[in-house]
Structure 1
Amino acid sequence: MKLRIRRVPLDTLRENVAVLSASCTALRPESFQAFKRLEIVHDDRVLIASLDVTHDLSLVAPDQIGLTDPAFCRLGLPEGAEVSISPARRPQSLSAVGQKISGGALSGLQIGEIVRDIAAHRYSDMEIVAFLVGCAGFMTSQEVLDLTRAMANAGTTLHWPSPMIVDKHCIGGIPGNRTSMIVVPIVAAHGLSIPKTSSRAITSPAGTADTMEVLANVDLSVAEMRKVVEACKGCLVWGGHVNLSPVDDILIGVERPLNLDTREQMVASIMSKKLAAGSTHLLIDVPIGPTAKIRNGSEALKLRKLFEYVSDQIGLKVEVVVTDGSRPVGRGVGPVLEARDVMAVLRNDVAAPSDLREKSLRLAGLLIDQDPAVRGGAGYHRAEALLASGAALAAMERIIEAQGRPRATPALGALQADILAPSDGVVLSTDCLRISQLARLAGAPIARGAGLDLFRQVGDRVEKGEPLFRIYAAEPSHYDLALAAAREENGFALGVTNGENV
């Protein structure tokens, strides 16, 4: 029995959803209770979808199958096209997921089968969660390597004419740490190729792709990305749109609401995208701090060794640099605010955040030091000169123009409130995790103009009633949540230093 496709205008995010009428002519109503997923077939096209049932004949008629937006786009057939349906078979790779949940180690073949099934959208979100939770329990170094390779092989693999392709990545967790958007134009201005592909935020208030999107289009095709790099030596684009390690973006979409971000999955995520992007030299920024993702030197050492193990096996030269993760970098937390800080640094604005400027110069210098034509240790001074001369700003403007400026620049959230110091004192510490949470409660990164503008840093003296930071939100519900949470715990520790009285 054939059914005709009807598009159901619902965005079900990553998940394919099919809707059948309770009076469906292809399946008896009692059959709906026996299975939860459908296999939809048209010639050589096959789509697996979760099943919903409706009693509303105006939504889906008995001889129709409704496909929500993701399913309709993936199947790629027009409305009215005829398809056949049958209960979907359980992916065989799910038995390996069960093995992982029970504490077993998986072979490269098993991991490859799981990744292929996820890439083909044969897993529901619940089944993906089962795989992620199983891996969060423990993963061997070999499993991390196998997952890296499988994820890289599941999508596009880029190859570049230049023998040296440099890249930089931060493991995240530090509010405002938007150094990539400064490092890329500096390194590109020097003359090294740096095609930077970035993920969107997982647990943070903004990722590089989220922030760059304030200034330029980041949804480029592979061909468009190549043209930008050819013209500008660098780019800042969303890796998901160029299909680099597409399974990683599926996993990220599931990880985000669960706040899952383990060391092993982090390494596989980063290295699979860099392998697929064709990078030859990679600099990894690992911030350490009491409220960062990595809390101490011992954890950082384990992470560095895992990065080095995987990089040695896949032929990618990696340098891991440990940085200060005890406090935010820059002042803005959220896409619009972080983009403001980035451009202030590139424009050599006297009011630009000095910590963001200095860290970006250090990282750019380490990448420039990889250039065989540069004398050892001269990279920092070269980066400093390129920034001071305006060459880095010019490189960024070229990249923005080549990628395409947005039709409209997002505005800061109209709902604003200052969080005031509850007492006199000195800022002794700031809680990076809490500041990130507050910015996300305010609506970042989904609302580009939401976030926090930090007025005080560690070491600053404040008086009672002076503002510590400002909350920006676009929606009243987000505003109320962030404001209430900030009044309960604002993330700033005030106290006495050097014998001062408060």
Structure 2
Amino acid sequence: MLAGITESDMAGAGLRLRRLGLDTYQQPVVYLRSDSPICKAEGFEAQSRLEIRHGGRCVVATLNVAVAPLLELDEAGVSEAAWRALEAAEGTLVHLAHAPPLPSFGAIRAKIFGRPLERDAAGAIVTDIAAGRYSDIELAAMIAACSGNRLDAAETCSLTAAMVAAGQRLRWDAPLVVDKHCVGGLPGNRTTLLVVPIIAACGLVIPKTSSRAITSPAGTADVMETLAPVALDAAAMRRVVEREGGCIAWGGAMALSPVDDLLIRVERPLGLDSDGLLVASILSKKVAAGSTHVLVDMPVGRTAKVRSLEAASALAQRLRWVGEQLGLAVSIELTDGSQPVGRGIGPALEAFDVLAVLQNQPGAPQDLRRRGLLLAGHLLEASGQAAAGWGLAKATEVLDSGAAWRKLQAICAAQGGMREPPRAAYTQDLCAAHAGRVAAIDNRALARCAKLAGAPKAAAAGLMFHAPLGAMVDVGQPLLTLHAESPGELAYALAYARSQEHMITLEEAP
């Protein structure tokens, strides 16, 4: 700081903006020196919530204090999330002030102590979250207040409607707009890339927005991105759908229920389950995308997200009821969640499975084919495009004829061009230590193993799974093959796999 300039001068003149290049994911963070005069003048402390103002823009950020000389005294450093939100040039003068209190947070405190979440309160909370006014700590408090069975159906409906209203809403020139969603928790379950081209080839409109992986080895958007660009804005998505009838795009590039992405970022690391938040997450995205009919794939299994038929029944009932209140026809398909689907776990490896099915290759994974056809057939019947009991036959005809494969190629071309998925530079088998029959599989351990190999950040990383339930294996036979883009990641994943004796459970044959 220049000599002779006082603390009040600095507060009035502002601070020079500096881009620090720090990735804090979606959380805006501002950095000041601990001896900065403005910290003393304004009483700023680490973890304070500050408003950063520049021109007509205002970004609420969490303060981190640098004790080392990372910054000049008259500089305010910002994370990448804050930099993007401010849209200002480096060196621009910005003004900092304490963020005002959040009246909406009072409703969250009340919810913690048992009071219901009213519709107006839900709207105020979601509006503040969308505006970036909630810190991660406050988001965590909201998630905890809504977790377990703490949200009833009416509260879930209020939250879902508020999440839809907080972003843009697409509308299509079609009486029927269909969609498909999976609640998750099952590695390799990449049926969206089969269902969308089958449904679009049948003449229906299916504008599919998908997520990237947060805690899994691959999200649908990650898999599709190995085949074609997915970061479409709303205008580009509309062009693709109007041309081909469907798309498979990354929902994060569009402001469709943007609060959902902010909640997921904090919710997943906490590991808190909530039917209410899950329903709000799924249905707010579908309503915002302009869907009229949605099919929800719900895998049920010991190591899946939904672990019992009782839990599945309760979740399905809530999905249907909330969907009905919001003008959305929701149908549920309970599927087997006891083991992975297909062979690949990881973006590129799952893409190769999808391509094998669409191209009707002899060695294509038949479980993935069956599940994709089942879901597509169900959606055709639910939307009235096939008579009851005839949806599967129609979907099979479209797949076997090559029409679905041609449609995926056309969708990829419309999204920016089709490409070949990458292949990993390093692979290694994990082999059976003894002979036996595969009696149980831990889906979560398999998913973690694929992540340790580098997925989804390294698109070619993950694993190929060779030991489905009931299979007989001999000693030394490969149970899975790890794929990695570096020797270190390969060794890391292999060490983990060898330490997990129940990841694939073998029992002696009778």
Whether the TM-score (by the shorter chain) exceeds 0.5 is yes
| Correspondence list, 1:235-274, <5 A | 235-274=247-286
Q: Go from structure 1 to structure 2 and tell me whether the alpha carbon gap of 1:135 and 1:365 turns closer, same or farther (over 3 Å shift).
A: same
- Match of 1:400, SS state, is helix
Q: Deviations over 1:295-337 (max 9, x none)?
A: 2221111011110110110010111111111111100111111
Q: Deviations over 1:264-323 (max 9, x none)?
A: 211110000001001001111111112211222211110111101101100101111111
Q: Go from structure 1 to structure 2 and tell me whether the alpha carbon gap of 1:18 and 1:367 turns closer, same or farther (over 3 Å shift).
A: same
Greater CA drift, 40-49 or 204-213: 40-49
Paired AA for residue 459 in structure 1: G
Structure 1 residue 102: Cα displacement = 3.0
TM-score (normalised: structure 1): 0.94
Q: Go from structure 1 to structure 2 and tell me whether the alpha carbon gap of 1:404 and 1:259 turns closer, same or farther (over 3 Å shift).
A: farther
Structure 1 residue 43: Cα displacement = 4.3
Residue of structure 2 in register with 1:455 after alignment: 466
- Match of 1:380, SS state, is helix
2:162 to 150, 161, 175: 150
Percent identity over the alignment? 46
Residue of structure 2 in register with 1:203 after alignment: 215
Structure 1 residue 20: Cα displacement = 2.2
Q: Go from structure 1 to structure 2 and tell me whether the alpha carbon gap of 1:480 and 1:5 turns closer, same or farther (over 3 Å shift).
A: same
2:288 to 272, 276, 283: 276
2:33 to 13, 17, 21: 21
Structure 1 residue 205: Cα displacement = 1.6
1:219 to 222, 231, 240: 231
2:477 to 448, 466, 472: 466
1:331/1:338 contact within 8 Å kept: yes
Matched, 1:117 2:111: no
Residue of structure 2 in register with 1:387 after alignment: 399
Structure 1 residue 5: Cα displacement = 2.2
Structure 1 residue 29: Cα displacement = 6.4
Structure 1 residue 168: Cα displacement = 0.7
Residues in 2 aligned to 1:259 and 1:333: alpha-carbon distance in whole angstroms: 22
Paired AA for residue 97 in structure 1: I
Structure 1 residue 359: Cα displacement = 0.9
Paired AA for residue 414 in structure 2: A
Greater CA drift, 148-157 or 389-398: 148-157
Residue of structure 1 in register with 2:368 after alignment: 356
Residue of structure 2 in register with 1:401 after alignment: 413
Structure 1 residue 401: Cα displacement = 0.8
Q: Deviations over 1:210-237 (max 9, x none)?
A: 1111111111000000000011110001
Structure 1 residue 36: Cα displacement = 1.2
Paired AA for residue 457 in structure 1: P
Residue of structure 2 in register with 1:441 after alignment: 452
2:345/2:447 contact within 8 Å kept: yes
TM-score (normalised: structure 2): 0.92
1:285/1:320 contact within 8 Å kept: yes
Q: Go from structure 1 to structure 2 and tell me whether the alpha carbon gap of 1:239 and 1:466 turns closer, same or farther (over 3 Å shift).
A: same
1:23/1:29 contact within 8 Å kept: no
Matched, 1:337 2:352: no
Residue of structure 2 in register with 1:100 after alignment: 111
Residue of structure 2 in register with 1:186 after alignment: 198
Structure 2 segments unaligned to the other structure (5+ residues) = 1-11
Paired AA for residue 124 in structure 1: S
Residue of structure 2 in register with 1:326 after alignment: 338
2:47/2:62 contact within 8 Å kept: no
Structure 1 segments unaligned to the other structure (5+ residues) = none
2:186/2:299 contact within 8 Å kept: yes
Aligned residues: 496
Structure 1 residue 18: Cα displacement = 1.4
Paired AA for residue 218 in structure 1: V
2:226/2:422 contact within 8 Å kept: no
2:377 to 365, 370, 377: 365
Q: Go from structure 1 to structure 2 and tell me whether the alpha carbon gap of 1:478 and 1:252 turns closer, same or farther (over 3 Å shift).
A: farther
1:2/1:26 contact within 8 Å kept: no
Q: Deviations over 1:454-474 (max 9, x none)?
A: 112112211111110011223
1:2/1:85 contact within 8 Å kept: no
Q: Deviations over 1:320-374 (max 9, x none)?
A: 1111111111001111110000010000001000010011111111112245453
